[in-house]
Amino acid sequence: MWKLYSFGKRLFMAHALKYMIDENGDKTSVLVPLKTWEKINQDYSKLQNKLHVLMGIKEGIAEVREAKKTGKNLQTLKDFLRESNS
């Protein structure tokens, strides 16, 4: 029987995976087809980039909340854009 497993938006067949086992019969490693591994790495890279962006947003929100508490003035969007374009 063939089982399909999902990783992200891509499906791959479980029979394509090969397991290495130790002398006790316990699985110790997995051999993954190269195309599947490349897709996993590509998806992982995209997730890392997304995480980086989301963490930046989270830090920005925390900075705004802290500024509101302390009364600190933050740079306006207009000033930010002007600075970025120069």
The answer on pLDDT for 2 being more than 50 is no
Per DSSP, the three-state class of 26 is: coil
Q: Where are the alpha helices (DSSP H) in the chain?
A: 34-70, 77-85
Q: Domain range for residue 66?
A: 4-85
The pLDDT of residue 36 is 86
The answer on pLDDT for 63 being more than 80 is yes
The pLDDT of residue 4 is 53
d(CA 47, CA 30): 22
Overall number of domains in the chain: 1
pTM: 0.58
Q: What is the pLDDT of residues 11-57, one digit of tens each?
A: 555 557 888 999 998 999 999 888 888 999 999 999 999 999 999 99
Q: What is the pLDDT of residues 71-83, one digit of tens each?
A: 999 998 899 899 9
